[in-house]
Amino acid sequence: MNDKKDTKTKVLSNLIWRFAERCGAQGVGFVVSIVLARILMPDDYGVIALITIFTNILNVFVDSGMGNALIQKKDADDIDFSSVFYFNVLWCIILYLILFFVAPVISVFYGKPELTPVTRVLGITILISGVKNVQQAYVSKTLQFKRFFFSTLGGTIGAAIVGIVMAYQGFGVWALVAQQIFNISIDTIILWITVKWRPKKVFSWKRLKGLFSYGWKLLASALLDVGYNNLRQLIIGKVYSTEDLAYYTKGDQFPNLVVTNINSSIDSVLLPVISTEQENKEQVKLLTRRAISTSSYIIWPLVIGLAACAEPFVRLILTEKWLFCVPYLRVFCLIYGFWPVHTANLNAIKAVGRSDIFLKLEIIKKAIGLLSIIISIRYGVFAIAIANLIIAPLNVIINATPNVKLLGYSYREQLKDMCPPMLLSGGMGILVYVLSYLPVYDFYLLLLQILGGIILYLLISFVLKIEAFVYLLEMYKNTKGKIKK
């Protein structure tokens, strides 16, 4: 009984720190992105988006697989962590050299000579990630998420100042490059100072191979996922224009910002906690159900509300030059609404050590997704986004399927945990959208829409006694009581 209480307290404490870190970082990032979007042109963002396609794919080799393997392994020690650290550093040097020499080819592919120096400089983030990755895994493994709060916030605030100053000075796309490099550099330095773990003078190929046997499947899954997601951007950048790509990525940015803030907090805490309970299937199922119902209750009203007030939001925040991103923003809001179900189901699969199933799921989903891209590409950029939305519910079913057998978590139970907040948010969204027709200045209109949506959502939750609402209310009361004590 005490073990369950300790686990619950540990999860809650780390979730609060992780959520605070995400809120702080994403809040600052949100403000900075608004300022930069008002100063810079869509074409500048389009150029960065083109390069990010390749840096994202290379970063998968750094951020996925081995880090998750360290977290999942119950008895990981200094030999495991040190071996992965040295391997990562060497591997990142190789990856950067590949990107450095391929940069001119990327420029020729897109017909933009200016991409070569930008690619080579932005690629430095890969080298820094090699040092940072194992520190992150150690923090996650030992549930020290308080460390993330200070490192991430320090990097984000510093990068914000650098990016805005350079943008005002007329550096254009280089302001965005400097912002990213400064962010990850400060983040890594602070994490290195605050986390006590240091690599020892030990290295074991045997340990590395053991971790790789689990991690390579997650690495391959992540490569499929990132490669597939960036394939859309690569195609848009090649077939259409950098401005089209900028509107597409900007439409993705805001719901991504909202959902990642919450989802990554739950994700990063849930995986190590479930991993410690991996032999207790009932406990794993309970944690997974709680993750789906709670995160869905929080995320769905946010994305539906954002979709409903998208036009006045973009007009006020980004100015009218970005209005073409509104349809994409609405589509991505609906896509990201399904993320809590994806994350919780996949975390359960990873935590019980079934990375083989994880890889199979990614192959199936990406094959379907690739077919959707092939069909939609000839009909324009918005058609590509719509095709992505159509397959989103199908991906939910695919991710949920293994846990029907592994955990006894049936489709009916998953639907029961996911649907109440989705339906409730839909009703709230109708009210918020209707309010957009009021002849009011955008600032006051947004204020009215946000307040109206929040009041309606919480009022119905209270009247109907929605399970997730009751659970969050109890958590709030318990946390408040502990703070007072």
Where do the domains of the chain lie?
240-485
Whole-number pLDDT of residue 304? 94
Which of 170, 349, 342, 202 is closest to 264 using CA atoms? 342
Residue 107 clears pLDDT 60, i.e. is over it: yes
How far apart CA 286 and CA 156 sit, in angstroms, is 35
Residue 11 clears pLDDT 60, i.e. is over it: no
Q: From the CA atom positions of the chain, what is the Rg in Å? A: 22
* Tokens coding 73: 């392994």
Query: Would you call 2 exposed, middle or buried from its count of C-beta atoms within 10 A (0-12, 13-18, 19+)?
Result: exposed
How far apart CA 440 and CA 114 sit, in angstroms, is 44
Whole-number pLDDT of residue 241? 80
Residue 10 clears pLDDT 60, i.e. is over it: no
Whole-number pLDDT of residue 170? 80
Residue 478 clears pLDDT 90, i.e. is over it: no
Q: Band of the pLDDT at 386, cuts 50, 70, 90? A: very high
Between 291 and 393, residue with greater pLDDT? 393
Query: Which residue's entry shows tokens 């949506």?
Result: 453
Between 473 and 386, residue with greater pLDDT? 386
Residue 148 clears pLDDT 70, i.e. is over it: no
Residue 228 clears pLDDT 80, i.e. is over it: no
Residue 5 clears pLDDT 50, i.e. is over it: no
Residue 108 clears pLDDT 90, i.e. is over it: no
Which of 331, 270, 344, 279 is closest to 303 using CA atoms? 331
How far apart CA 319 and CA 34 sit, in angstroms, is 10
Residue burial 207-235, b: 16+ Cβ < 10 Å; e: rest: bbeebbebbbbbbbbbbbbbebbbbbbbb
* Tokens coding 186: 């400060």
For residue 186, give every residue at least 6 positions away whose Cβ sits within 8 Å of its Cβ, in sequence order, or none: 151, 154, 155, 158, 159
Q: Band of the pLDDT at 1, cuts 50, 70, 90? A: very low
For residue 153, give every residue at least 6 positions away whose Cβ sits within 8 Å of its Cβ, in sequence order, or none: 21, 24, 25, 28
Between 268 and 237, residue with greater pLDDT? 237
205-212: long-range contacts (C-beta < 8 A, 24 or more apart)? 205/83, 207/79, 207/80, 207/83, 208/83, 208/84, 208/87, 211/66, 211/69, 211/70, 211/73, 211/80, 211/83, 211/84, 212/65, 212/66, 212/69
Which of 75, 195, 60, 95 is closest to 136 using CA atoms? 195
Q: Hey, how many other C-beta atoms are within 10 angstroms of the C-beta on 469? A: 20
Whole-number pLDDT of residue 307? 93
Between 388 and 43, residue with greater pLDDT? 388
Whole-number pLDDT of residue 261? 66
Cα–Cα distances in angstroms (integers) from residue 59 to residues 235, 261, 317, in the given order: 20, 20, 31
Residue 134 clears pLDDT 50, i.e. is over it: yes
Whole-number pLDDT of residue 385? 92
For residue 451, give every residue at least 6 positions away whose Cβ sits within 8 Å of its Cβ, in sequence order, or none: none
Between 235 and 43, residue with greater pLDDT? 235
Whole-number pLDDT of residue 366? 85
Between 225 and 418, residue with greater pLDDT? 418
Residue 334 clears pLDDT 90, i.e. is over it: yes
* Tokens coding 17: 């720190």
Whole-number pLDDT of residue 305? 92
pLDDT digits (tens, 9 = 90+) for 87-103: 888 888 888 898 899 88
In this prediction, residues 387-402 reach a mean pLDDT of: 90
Residues, the chain, total? 485
- Mean pLDDT over each residue of the chain, to the nearest integer: 79
How far apart CA 81 and CA 79 sit, in angstroms, is 6
Q: Band of the pLDDT at 301, cuts 50, 70, 90? A: very high
In this prediction, residues 450-474 reach a mean pLDDT of: 86
**CA 207 to mean position of chain CA atoms:** 30
Which of 254, 44, 63, 319 is closest to 163 using CA atoms? 44
Which of 420, 424, 388, 458 is closest to 304 using CA atoms? 424
For residue 120, give every residue at least 6 positions away whose Cβ sits within 8 Å of its Cβ, in sequence order, or none: 99, 100, 103
Residue 431 clears pLDDT 70, i.e. is over it: yes
How far apart CA 248 and CA 255 sit, in angstroms, is 12
**DSSP secondary-structure letter at 321?**
G
Query: Which residue's entry shows tokens 């074409």?
Result: 43
462 touches 429 (CB < 8 A):
no
pLDDT digits (tens, 9 = 90+) for 158-202: 877 888 888 888 887 788 888 888 888 888 888 888 777 788 888
Whole-number pLDDT of residue 145? 64
How far apart CA 327 and CA 252 sit, in angstroms, is 10
Residue 284 clears pLDDT 80, i.e. is over it: no
How far apart CA 40 and CA 8 sit, in angstroms, is 46
* Tokens coding 90: 């060497």
Between 271 and 301, residue with greater pLDDT? 301
